């Protein structure tokens, strides 16, 4: 065995230590009494020491170190137990009103309801006359109405807030979770924290005036700040598996530290000066981008590597990664439950262990540089896929291609962006930002192009079963590509498995993206998507298409649009802001020219419209008489009626007509009273199609349906819904008016059109 092979073999011992430490951290954070577990691990480590003294086996030594590290992680958890007990003594689980003084330690991140959450270290918690002091890890949320009070807050700001506690999960690091209702003090950071905050703000300011979406991507690539990224580009980055580029990772640390080390080497600095200088640059970079789990892991790994280099010791990537993971889990055992930390560790391990064998395997069929370029994103996606599918049950089929195209642009964008961030000369900063814009714009273009491809996301089973299946599939792909010669039977089995997978995926993708639209009659003019208990109705004229409401979730709507062959919308109508009508909006953000909407009732409604606007849509509030054109059709808003409160009864009602088009009225969620008011105030036309109100509820005005005299009634309704929709009363009304009922719960996607002889035709995805 050569010295290098022996070194690599010894490096894997560190993996055992890291794995045992991870298991120990997970057990300690879940155990009701972490101190007892830590004590047991200490005793076990003592027993292992005695065994090693007697037998002198390397395996026993590894076990001793592993148990000691696991005990140390447990001790860290146990050390926080008194603080947890003191907070619990305040009866925070009862929702008691608290006043806290805290120092912000992480990004102030927006939440789905328009509010914000941030990590903090609380120094004082007061409940009535009782005050608890200490270093208390906390997670603090502020509602949408008070988020503006945090506009100046950054890492290092000392804030004073009051609110009610949310029960904290004992398995999470945060001892206190507070939902703030008052923000008493929220100053900007001071001292060194203010310097770094000013640097970040300066970089963001220098991107203003540059074309989007590249401009908003520069701070994300350089320092992980995605506040300027528009919603459409952020969604495209996630869909195309490029979101890791805007989350500062090991690649960013390696680029920055490597540049500093090289610069010091060129200047003739001694080895120890290079090491110290690189460590100082690394520390400053971590503070600049804020210490998120992936950044901390990458920084720890880089620091260990720099020290090993400075001491003249040969380094092995796996050993460095294992040491970094072990140290971090001892210092912060709750990282073992962080998906970001797990993904970061898995991706680095994949690059260290799997990339080279994959490159060698691919090198049999292509040039070596191209093989290595493909192997890097492929290895990361194979290893990280099972973790990602736990939170998003889809497999990004084009993720490797997107990374292959985008990764070469990441390095120049990151280096230019970081230099622009730290240089104090405004004109030089603006010039470097402009340089960074070129590769950033390329990355954004790759993301949007990949995300718009119908075949990008392959649906996959969710939960542990889905993760296990994807692990097996990924392992088969890795073996089939690397083709190890020592296990020919396993290689043959893996190749067969991959062939079956490729055939199944190819067939599924063909059905979804090519054959799917062919199953829908090509001449459809009106269609209703099967999106569950909600509405999503389309009409089209020529190449123009419109969507009325988006259903409750984005995935079913996206699937339906792909099946119908719709990738762009000239018009989106949001009849009102209930979730079953706007919850799927994520699927069409950045894809609509005009958004017509009903009355705004809650701050969340306006935030959704702001996201559409950020994606390039024009906004238009609906009013009676508002009209517009779509191809050869004309649409008119018959509602919302004046004086109605935002909600069901203030739904936008749309009348659509045109030459050769089956006239249609869509009633939103109007109840019986506003339906009667509509009949009194508006000249309601006779139509061929009616989109039935409120999923077929009983709250209907028969007179309106008798006036409409529709030949087809479309009902968007979920199978097995608990509301009893569509109700017998509504079905009886449609029977009395001679209206044919078509419902998505039993019929699937619905399509209606005039054929060549002007006959009205109804098509159901599932035959009744």
In this predicted model, what pLDDT tens digit does every residue of 66-89 receive, in sequence order? 899 999 999 988 888 888 787 777
CATH of the domain at 122: 2.40.50.140
The pLDDT score that the predictor gives to residue 277 is: 84
390 is in which domain, residue-wise? 354-397+458-519
Name the token pair of 297. 């892991």
Residue 29 lies in a domain: yes
- Strand 760-764 and strand 750-754: the pairing is antiparallel
Same domain, 498 and 536: no
Instruction: Using the predicted structure, report yes or no on whether residue 112 has a pLDDT greater than 60.
Output: no
User: Which of 382-386, 481-485, 552-556, 566-570 is predicted with the least confidence, judged by mean pLDDT?
Assistant: 481-485
The pLDDT score that the predictor gives to residue 72 is: 92
Instruction: Give the total number of structural domains in the chain.
Output: 4
The pLDDT score that the predictor gives to residue 725 is: 92
In this predicted model, what pLDDT tens digit does every residue of 571-614 receive, in sequence order? 999 999 999 999 999 888 888 999 999 999 888 888 889 888 88
CATH of the domain at 701: 3.60.15.10
CB atoms within 10 A of CB 735: 11
Q: How far apart are the first and last CA of the chain?
A: 71
Residue 372 lies in a domain: yes
Q: Predicted confidence band at 310 (pLDDT cuts at 50, 70, 90)? A: low
Name the token pair of 231. 């919603």
Q: Predicted confidence band at 455 (pLDDT cuts at 50, 70, 90)? A: low
Residue 419 lies in a domain: no
Same domain, 464 and 569: no
Instruction: Using the predicted structure, report yes or no on whether residue 509 has a pLDDT greater than 70.
Output: no
CB contact at 8 A, 154 and 125? no
**Taking the CA atoms of the chain, what radius of gyration do you get in angstroms?**
30
Same domain, 59 and 100: no
Residue 392 lies in a domain: yes
The pLDDT score that the predictor gives to residue 359 is: 82
Instruction: Using the predicted structure, report yes or no on whether residue 301 has a pLDDT greater than 60.
Output: yes
Q: Predicted confidence band at 7 (pLDDT cuts at 50, 70, 90)? A: low
In this predicted model, what pLDDT tens digit does every residue of 329-346 receive, in sequence order? 998 888 888 877 887 788
Same domain, 537 and 515: no
The pLDDT score that the predictor gives to residue 750 is: 94
Q: Predicted confidence band at 720 (pLDDT cuts at 50, 70, 90)? A: confident
Residue 315 lies in a domain: no
Same domain, 562 and 581: yes
CB atoms within 10 A of CB 33: 12
Q: Among 137, 163, 190, where does a domain finish?
A: 190
CB contact at 8 A, 417 and 252? no
Instruction: Using the predicted structure, report yes or no on whether residue 111 has a pLDDT greater than 80.
Output: no
In this predicted model, what pLDDT tens digit does every residue of 728-753 receive, in sequence order? 999 999 999 999 999 999 999 999 99
Distance from C-alpha of 33 to C-alpha of 25, rounded to nearest angstrom: 13
Q: Among 190, 213, 245, where does a domain finish?
A: 190
Instruction: Using the predicted structure, report yes or no on whether residue 189 has a pLDDT greater than 70.
Output: yes
**DSSP state for residue 152 in the 8-state scheme:** T
Burial of 541 (0-12, 13-18, 19+ CB in 10 A): buried
Residue 302 lies in a domain: no
Distance from C-alpha of 537 to C-alpha of 324, rounded to nearest angstrom: 53
Instruction: Using the predicted structure, report yes or no on whether residue 92 has a pLDDT greater than 70.
Output: no
Element (H or E) spanning 655, and its range? strand 654-657
Same domain, 548 and 502: no
Q: Predicted confidence band at 768 (pLDDT cuts at 50, 70, 90)? A: low
The pLDDT score that the predictor gives to residue 91 is: 66
Question: In the predicted model, what is the mean pLDDT of residues 204-226?
Answer: 83
Same domain, 507 and 532: no
Q: Is the model more confident about 268 or about 764?
A: 764
Same domain, 61 and 29: yes
User: Which of 139-143, 293-297, 448-452, 568-572 is predicted with the least confidence, judged by mean pLDDT?
Assistant: 293-297
Same domain, 547 and 688: yes
Same domain, 531 and 551: yes
Residue 529 lies in a domain: yes
The pLDDT score that the predictor gives to residue 662 is: 94
The reply to whether the predicted model has a pTM over 0.85 is no
Average pLDDT, the chain: 82
Residue 585 lies in a domain: yes
Q: Predicted confidence band at 450 (pLDDT cuts at 50, 70, 90)? A: confident
Most confident of the following: 346-360, 401-415, 491-505, 574-588: 574-588
Same domain, 155 and 39: no
Angle 424-428-433 from CA coordinates, rounded to 5° = 100
Same domain, 606 and 513: no
Q: Among 160, 190, 220, where does a domain finish?
A: 190
């Amino acid at each position: 065995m050569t010295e290098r092979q022996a070194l690599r073999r010894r490096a894997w011992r560190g993996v055992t230590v890291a794995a045992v430490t991870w298991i120990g951290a997970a057990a300690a954070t879940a155990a009701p009494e972490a101190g007892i577990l830590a004590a047991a691990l200490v005793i076990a480590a003592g027993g292992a020491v005695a065994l090693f003294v007697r037998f002198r086996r390397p395996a026993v030594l590894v076990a001793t170190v592993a148990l000691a590290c696991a005990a140390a992680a447990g001790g860290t958890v146990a050390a926080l137990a008194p603080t947890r007990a003191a907070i619990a003594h305040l009866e925070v689980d009862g929702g008691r009103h608290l006043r806290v003084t805290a120092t912000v330690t992480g990004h102030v991140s927006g939440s789905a309801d328009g509010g914000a959450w941030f990590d903090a270290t609380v120094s004082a918690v007061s409940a009535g006359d009782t005050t608890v002091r200490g270093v208390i890890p906390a997670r603090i949320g502020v509602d949408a109405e008070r988020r503006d009070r945090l506009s100046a807050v950054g890492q290092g700001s000392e804030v004073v807030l009051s609110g009610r506690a949310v029960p904290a999960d004992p398995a999470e690091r945060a001892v206190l979770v507070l939902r703030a209702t008052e923000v008493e003090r929220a100053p900007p950071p001071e001292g060194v924290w203010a310097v770094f905050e000013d640097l970040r703000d300066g970089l963001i300011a220098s991107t203003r005036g540059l074309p989007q979406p590249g401009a908003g991507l520069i701070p994300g690539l350089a320092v992980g700040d995605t506040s300027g990224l528009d919603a459409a580009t952020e969604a495209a980055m996630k869909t195309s598996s490029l979101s890791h580029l805007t989350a500062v990772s090991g690649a960013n640390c390696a680029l920055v530290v490597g540049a500093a080390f090289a610069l010091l080497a060129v200047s003739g600095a001694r080895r120890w000066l290079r090491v110290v200088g690189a460590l100082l640059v690394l520390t400053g970079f971590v503070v600049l981008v804020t210490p998120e789990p992936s950044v901390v892991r990458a920084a720890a790994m880089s620091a260990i590597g720099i020290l090993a280099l400075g001491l003249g010791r040969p380094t092995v990537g796996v050993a460095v990664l294992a040491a970094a993971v072990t140290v971090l889990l001892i210092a912060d055992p709750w990282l073992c439950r962080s998906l970001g930390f797990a993904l970061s560790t898995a991706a680095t391990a994949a690059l260290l262990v799997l990339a080279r064998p994959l490159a060698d395997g691919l090198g049999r069929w292509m040039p070596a540089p191209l093989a290595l370029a493909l192997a890097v994103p492929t290895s990361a996606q194979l290893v990280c896929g099972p973790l990602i599918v736990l939170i998003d049950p889809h497999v990004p089929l084009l993720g490797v291609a997107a990374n292959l195209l985008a990764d070469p642009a990441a390095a120049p964008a990151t280096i230019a962006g970081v230099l622009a961030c730290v240089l104090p000369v405004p004109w030089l900063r603006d010039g470097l930002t402009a340089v960074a814009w070129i590769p950033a714009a390329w990355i954004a273009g790759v993301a949007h192009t990949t995300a718009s491809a119908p075949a990008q996301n392959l649906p996959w089973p969710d939960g542990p079963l889905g993760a296990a299946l994807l692990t097996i599939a990924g392992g088969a792909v890795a073996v089939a590509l690397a083709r190890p010669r020592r296990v020919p039977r396993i290689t043959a089995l893996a190749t067969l498995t991959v062939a079956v997978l490729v055939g199944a995926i190819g067939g599924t993708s063909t059905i979804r993206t090519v054959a799917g639209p062919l199953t829908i009659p090509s001449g459809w003019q009106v269609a209703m998507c099967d999106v569950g208990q909600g509405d999503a109705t389309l009409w089209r004229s020529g190449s123009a298409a419109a969507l009325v409401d988006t259903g409750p979730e984005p995935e079913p709507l996206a699937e339906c649009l792909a099946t119908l062959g719709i990738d762009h919308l000239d018009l989106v109508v949001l009849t009102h802001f209930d979730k079953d009508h706007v919850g799927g909006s994520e699927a069409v953000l950045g894809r609509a020219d005009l958004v017509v909407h009903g009355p705004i009732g809650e701050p969340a409604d306006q935030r959704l419209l702001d996201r559409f606007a950020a994606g390039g849509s024009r906004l238009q509030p609906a009013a009676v008489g508002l009209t517009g054109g779509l191809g050869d059709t004309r649409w008119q808003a018959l509602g919302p009626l004046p004086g109605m409160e935002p909600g069901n009864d203030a739904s936008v009602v749309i009348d659509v007509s045109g030459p050769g088009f089956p006239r249609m009225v869509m009633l939103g969620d109007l109840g019986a009273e506003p339906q009667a008011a509509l009949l009194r105030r508006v000249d309601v036309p006779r139509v061929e199609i009616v989109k039935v109100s409120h999923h077929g509820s009983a709250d209907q005005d028969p007179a309106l349906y008798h006036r409409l005299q529709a030949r087809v009634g479309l009902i968007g309704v979920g199978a097995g819904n608990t509301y009893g929709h569509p109700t017998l009363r509504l079905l009886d009304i449609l029977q009395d008016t001679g209206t044919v009922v078509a419902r998505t719960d039993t019929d699937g996607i619905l399509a209606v059109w005039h054929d060549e002889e002007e006959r009205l035709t109804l098509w159901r995805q599932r035959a009744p």
